[in-house]
Amino acid sequence: MLDRVLEPEVMDTVEEAVDYDAMDHAEVNRRFVDDLLTVLAGTEFAAAGRTCRLLDLGTGTAQIPIALIRRARETGFAAKLEIAAVDLAAEMLVVAKANVIAAAMTDVIRLERLDAKTLPYPPNRFSGVVSNSIVHHIPEPREALEEAVRVTATGGFLYFRDLLRPNDEAELAKLVDLYAAGANDHQRQLFAQSLRAALTVTEVQELVKSLGFEPSTVTATSDRHWTWSARKS
């Protein structure tokens, strides 16, 4: 197994924000959103007339909340979704703001510049906390996961997905070639760095166990992703 090599916790240059937003995340985002809506459908927050308040940690350029709202509307999801989309990178949020405005979703997506490790929200604030690819950015991910649990309401859910660290250099190179084939050199470098900074399933299972959740709530869900899906009791 490759050793974990940390990348910068905050991607906060104009080039990084623009390149990240331009990368083809469509298929990965679609799967995340569809899987998340399936989880949502099985909760009490899915009832008609309910407001489901979600927190999206590490929203980046807000692609996930936009896709989630759009998909919920397409499928006739009964509850109203309101999303607090937060990130620590100011330049990411500049692009995110433009994306949310273009999608005409400023009424249901609120952007905030916050650190996932020290959230200002009171306990039990959200129906659910979700995240796509924040964990590999954080040197000590337990801090962010602990905060996520704290602000999730009793009976609420946590849904995190992130990259898996490859076993060796050959596997890493294969993944970059497969999933970043049409990307520019900088985008390929960003992807490779993220894979090196990612955790293994076992490492994430140990983290969630330390927070009182069953390790089995963490599983490998693709050749390059793990998913943590759990309810807060």
Check pLDDT > 80 for residue 206: yes
165, 107 Cβ separation under 8 angstroms: no
Check pLDDT > 80 for residue 19: no
Percent of the chain having pLDDT more than 70?
A: 99
Check pLDDT > 80 for residue 11: no
The whole-number pLDDT of residue 46 equals: 86
**SS3 of 93, please?**
helix
> Distance between CA 11 and CA 7 in Å, rounded?
9
Residue 71 domain-assigned (yes or no): yes
Residue 50 domain-assigned (yes or no): yes
Taking only the tens place, the pLDDT of each residue in 153-187 is: 999 999 999 999 999 999 999 999 999 998 889 88
The whole-number pLDDT of residue 13 equals: 78
Check pLDDT > 80 for residue 74: yes
> Distance between CA 38 and CA 40 in Å, rounded?
5
Check pLDDT > 90 for residue 220: yes
> Distance between CA 136 and CA 131 in Å, rounded?
11
Q: Residue 160 is part of a domain; what is its CATH number?
A: 3.40.50.150
Count of other CB atoms within 10 angstroms of residue 96: 25
The token duo for 40 is 């949502």
Residue 5 domain-assigned (yes or no): no
Taking only the tens place, the pLDDT of each residue in 93-136 is: 999 999 999 999 999 999 999 999 999 999 999 999 999 999 99
Count of other CB atoms within 10 angstroms of residue 186: 14
Distances in whole angstroms, Cα of residue 183 to Cα of each of 143, 177, 205: 32, 9, 32
Residue 8 domain-assigned (yes or no): no
Cα four-point dihedral sign 114, 101, 124, 129: negative
Strands (E), the chain: 51-57, 80-87, 109-113, 126-132, 152-163, 218-220, 225-231
150, 122 Cβ separation under 8 angstroms: no
116, 57 Cβ separation under 8 angstroms: yes
Residue 90 domain-assigned (yes or no): yes
Residue 97 domain-assigned (yes or no): yes
Taking only the tens place, the pLDDT of each residue in 38-65 is: 999 989 888 888 999 999 999 999 999 9
The token duo for 54 is 């979600």
86, 64 Cβ separation under 8 angstroms: no
Question: Given pLDDT bands bounded at 50, 70 and 90, which one contains residue 23?
Answer: confident
143, 115 Cβ separation under 8 angstroms: no
Question: Given pLDDT bands bounded at 50, 70 and 90, which one contains residue 7?
Answer: confident
Residue 9 domain-assigned (yes or no): no
| Count: domains in the chain | 1
Please give the residue that has the higher pLDDT: either 75 or 1: 75
Q: Mean pLDDT, the chain, as a whole number?
A: 94
For 122, the domain range is 14-231
What residue type is 182 in one-letter code?
Answer: G
The whole-number pLDDT of residue 54 equals: 98
Residue 1 domain-assigned (yes or no): no
Check pLDDT > 90 for residue 25: no
The whole-number pLDDT of residue 10 equals: 77
